[in-house]
């Protein structure tokens, strides 16, 4: 009997959209940034627990895929920052 699959696309898109949301509102409410960092950390560990204990992994989740995900996440933040600087002028 196989456990239900873990939705990688939904989880990573949630993290990217939340990082953009926090970046946008950090200027307005800088005190909330620390609280959101704590929430992100808790959410990360909950998802990690769910991935390894409660769900099956349909992909070969090796180091190459991990590097690709981290690079895509870093590049999306960089593109967002460049866009913010360009359109802020």
Confidence band for 31, pLDDT divided at 50, 70 and 90: confident
- Give the range of the structural domain holding residue 15, as residue numbers without chain letter: 8-88
47-53 contacts, C-beta under 8 A, 24 or more apart: 47/11, 50/6, 51/6
**Residue 3 falls inside a structural domain:** no
pLDDT at position 39 over 70:
yes
**Residue 2 falls inside a structural domain:** no
**Residue 51 falls inside a structural domain:** yes
**Residue 1 falls inside a structural domain:** no
Predicted structure pTM score: 0.46
Q: How many structural domains comprise the chain? A: 1
Percent of the residues in the chain that have a pLDDT greater than 70, as a whole number? 79
pLDDT at 60: 63
């Amino acid at each position: 009997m196989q456990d239900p699959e873990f939705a990688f696309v939904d989880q990573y898109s949630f993290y990217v959209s939340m990082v953009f949301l926090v970046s946008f509102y950090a200027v307005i409410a800088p005190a909330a940034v620390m609280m959101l960092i704590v929430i992100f950390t808790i959410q990360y560990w909950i998802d990690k627990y769910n991935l390894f204990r409660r769900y099956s992994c349909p992909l070969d989740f090796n180091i190459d895929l991990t590097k690709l995900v981290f690079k895509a996440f870093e590049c999306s933040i960089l593109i967002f920052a460049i866009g913010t600087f360009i359109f802020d002028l």
